[in-house]
Amino acid sequence: MAKIKTSYFCQSCGFESAKWLGKCPSCQQWNTFVEEIVEKGNSKTPDWKSGTSNTISRVNKPSKVQEIEYTEDHRLITPDKELNRVLGGGIVGGSLVLIGGEPGIGKSTLMLQLALTLKNLKVLYVSGEESEKQIKLRAERILENPTSDCYILTETSTQNIFKQIEQLEPSIVIIDSIQTLHSAHIESTPGSVSQVRECTAELLRFAKETNTPVFLIGHITKDGMIAGPKILEHMVDTVLQFEGDRHHVYRILRAIKNRFGAASELGIYEMQGSGLREVSNPSEILLSQRDEPLSGVTISATMEGMRPMLIETQALVSASPYGTPQRSATGFDTKRMNMLLAVLEKRCGFKLGAKDVFLNIAGGIRVEDPSIDLGLIAAIISSNEDMPVSYKICFAAEVGLSGEIRAVNRIEQRIAEAQKLGFEQIFISKYNTKGLDISKYQIEIKTVAKVEEVFSLLFG
């Protein structure tokens, strides 16, 4: 009998070792190595066309860069404008897209909604987690009378899936999910490191050889990372993260990796009973509708990819009843919040060392753009002094360690967005005025260079 090849894999990062190790040298985790059978002794390299025998092997030869013929990729424009934005302008033929997210966040709903709304295209939706009746119930909830050519297949074997693909010849393939598939060429359980890697490799070869886009739905770990080996994210063309709190109605589709577009774009959806609805103007949903100004609340202009958004930044400063003050931030980096508090203490003289400080980005989103620094410190001082900031004022500037107001990118788009939503004033850095024509804006633009100037203009 042929010898069966085995190896040890780290279940945390996918690191491969010939022998068992107590500590993974890659991710430094303990007791994560599991022995897996990686290959049958009499098996050969699988081909996605497992049922055909007339496959011709082609040998690739090196070519000069100037001799390579290139034609612009034809993108498939979907009815979902938010998905088109995140993918870089539409679906590229032969691309492999991985979508990850929390359980119940709406990954399957998003993909089924895409399959049901594509017209004149054959879409094969492969599910290894749900039955046909369950998918039918969800499809009726999303679309009462679907007219698209959407085919449902409940199967987990990649060999059987490819047989159906050869007969159907779909234009798009959706796999829900990659952790449920298994290949007969690997003798290990579905979801293991070797199975996920082998199934993804077969789907990648199919996508590139037939120029068919493939969408993979992936699970995530308790740390929020996509489950399986890290090589899974390296193999695919695009990695999308579906974020949001199940207790909020809004969901964010964020691009983490994209070979065909910007990796900083995001799309916003609203979860409804009939599925996911696109949010074309996110600034309106992220700003609360209030009639009177409140202390500790300011509006900041941020950029997500190429999209300007106005978000509500909230702060609460209160006396600490215990010896150690609390520092908590929701939707913002806690370390950067501590840096801003140190700037206020050192440069501006505000005594915040013995007070609790809580920050929150309204709407349940997470922001990493440093341009909201000025809005955050204005909210902190507003709450500390209990003096409200007018809701007709917004901020767009970064704060440095010496208390200087630093310039941010794409300031014209931020100003235009604030003007469109009816704001009367916007605070920006005076170093942002180079090449900026202030006269073409109806909104009043306040240019500042130091944090002290901002407080004197706001609170006198």
* Closest by CA position to 312, among listed 252, 240, 389: 389
Q: Please check if 106 is assigned to a binding site.
A: yes
* Contact (Cβ atoms closer than 8 angstroms) between residue 262 and residue 88: yes
Q: Please check if 435 is assigned to a binding site.
A: no
Q: Please check if 102 is assigned to a binding site.
A: yes
Q: Please check if 89 is assigned to a binding site.
A: no
Residue 138 has phi, psi (to 5 degrees) of -70, -35
CA 391 to chain centre: 30
Between CA 251 and CA 262 the distance in angstroms is 20
Judged by DSSP in three states, 33 sits in strand
Count CB-CB contacts under 10 A for residue 446.
16
* Closest by CA position to 37, among listed 156, 171, 183, 202: 183
Hey, what's the torsion of the CAs at 315, 321, 322, 325, to 10 degrees? 20
Q: Please check if 275 is assigned to a binding site.
A: no
Q: Please check if 133 is assigned to a binding site.
A: no
Distances (CA, A) of 324 to 241, 296, 336: 36, 22, 19
Q: Please check if 128 is assigned to a binding site.
A: no
Tokens of 341: 């508090």
Q: Please check if 103 is assigned to a binding site.
A: yes
Between CA 268 and CA 282 the distance in angstroms is 7
Binding-site residue ranges for ATP? 101-108
Q: Which residues are annotated as a binding site?
A: 101-108
